């Protein structure tokens, strides 16, 4: 008897999407994408939206800059600082001296662990402003819940089983799933996909904009970048959910055509 049905494939895709967004951590399920920079565990600081760090480099002068000596002033203030700050959905990680990471959702607590020489330009405060004023994780949380509900609905679909016909021989039968349940599952997974799209697009755009502004303002002493791991997980999860949405739509339309032919 075939074990893997069409709806099982869709369920596997949903599970993969949820795994990309979630992981088991500290005995409870928290979103992997959302968990970035919420813990100093080896994996977590590497999942971030925005990274801001001190690095001395040749500043980029421009005719639109009123004070050309501003670069020199920044360089004098920054000194030998090498701290790096990474921002996640629910936390901030800092690496003051190239050693271990310090992670917390409380920027004040992190600032107390760092000296003035390590963060003379208040990058921790800047990272906290980005997290508090721009980052919005709740659409992804809702999307995860909706995807899980769709997974439960797909689990109710009937599978292959054997029945005896009038002649006493066994035959494989796979009844059609309930049309209302299929339509509800389609609507839920579509909403989940849209929520992930809006959230990932929003955070990607915001992270790129904040990265450019932070680096330009700290021209010559501050570098910044966008976390590729978080973006890849977000966009890949959206792709999987869209595939499931299209798959459910094709299944519903196919069942409708087959039902009309019977």
User: Residue 136: its pLDDT value, please?
Assistant: 85
Task: Give the residue, 157 or 245, on which the prediction is more confident.
Answer: 245
Q: For the chain, what percentages of helix, strand and coil (3-state, to nearest 5) are there?
A: 55, 15, 30
Beta strands in the chain (DSSP E): 22-25, 28-31, 50-54, 84-87, 92-95, 102-104, 161-164, 170-173, 222-226
User: Residue 31: its pLDDT value, please?
Assistant: 47
User: Residue 147: its pLDDT value, please?
Assistant: 94
Separation CA 65–CA 55 (nearest Å): 21
| Closest listed residue to residue 124, CA positions, set 136, 137, 114, 133 | 114
| Three-state SS at 79 | coil
Least confident of 41-45, 54-58, 128-132: 41-45
Per-residue pLDDT of 182-217, as tens digits, reads 999 999 999 999 999 999 999 899 999 999 999 998
| Closest listed residue to residue 223, CA positions, set 69, 74, 106 | 74
Q: Residue 24: pLDDT band by 50, 70, 90 thresholds? A: very low
Q: Say which CATH architecture domain 6-160+172-259 belongs to.
A: Up-down Bundle (1.20)
Per-residue pLDDT of 136-187, as tens digits, reads 888 888 999 999 999 999 888 876 655 565 666 666 656 677 888 999 999 9
8 token code pair: 């099982």
* 90 neighbors 35 (Cβ within 8 angstroms): yes
| Closest listed residue to residue 182, CA positions, set 260, 239, 250 | 250
- Tell me the HSE value of 172 on the side-chain side, using a 13 A CA sphere: 6
Query: How large is the angle between the packed helices 6-21 and 138-155, nearest 10 degrees?
Result: 160
What is the percentage of the chain residues whose pLDDT exceeds 90? 42
- Backbone φ and ψ of 138, nearest 5°: -75, -25
Arithmetic mean of pLDDT, 53-65: 87
109 token code pair: 């607590």
User: Residue 33: its pLDDT value, please?
Assistant: 55
Assess whether pLDDT exceeds 50 at residue 261.
Answer: yes
Q: Residue 114: pLDDT band by 50, 70, 90 thresholds? A: very high
- 217-234 burial string, b = 16+ CB within 10 Å, else e? ebbbbbbbbbbeebbebb
| Closest listed residue to residue 177, CA positions, set 248, 239, 102, 75 | 248
User: Residue 25: its pLDDT value, please?
Assistant: 35
Separation CA 14–CA 65 (nearest Å): 50
User: Residue 28: its pLDDT value, please?
Assistant: 35
């Amino acid at each position: 008897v075939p074990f893997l049905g069409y709806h099982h494939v869709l369920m596997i895709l949903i599970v993969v999407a949820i795994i990309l967004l979630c992981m088991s951590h500290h005995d409870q399920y928290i979103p992997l994408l959302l968990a970035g920079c919420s813990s100093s565990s080896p994996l977590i600081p590497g999942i971030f939206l925005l990274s801001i760090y001190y690095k001395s480099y040749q500043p980029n002068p421009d005719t639109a800059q009123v004070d050309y000596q501003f670069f020199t002033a920044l360089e004098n203030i920054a000194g030998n600082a090498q701290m790096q700050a990474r921002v996640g959905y629910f936390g901030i990680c800092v690496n003051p001296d190239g050693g271990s990471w310090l992670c917390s959702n409380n920027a004040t607590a992190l600032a107390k662990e760092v000296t003035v020489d390590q963060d003379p330009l208040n990058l921790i405060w800047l990272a906290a402003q980005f997290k508090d004023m721009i980052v919005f994780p709740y659409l992804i949380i809702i999307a995860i819940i909706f995807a899980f509900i769709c997974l439960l609905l797909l689990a109710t679909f009937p599978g292959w089983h054997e029945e005896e016909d009038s002649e006493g021989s066994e035959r494989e039968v796979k009844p059609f799933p309930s049309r209302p349940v299929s339509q509800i599952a389609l609507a839920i997974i579509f909403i989940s996909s849209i929520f992930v799209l809006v959230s990932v697009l929003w955070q990607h755009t915001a992270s790129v904009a904040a990265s450019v502004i932070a680096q330009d303002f700290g021209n010559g002493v501050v570098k910044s970048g966008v976390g590729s791991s978080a973006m890849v997980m977000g966009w890949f999860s959206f792709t999987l959910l869209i595939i499931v949405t299209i798959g459910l739509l094709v299944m519903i339309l196919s069942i409708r055509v087959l039902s009309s032919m019977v």
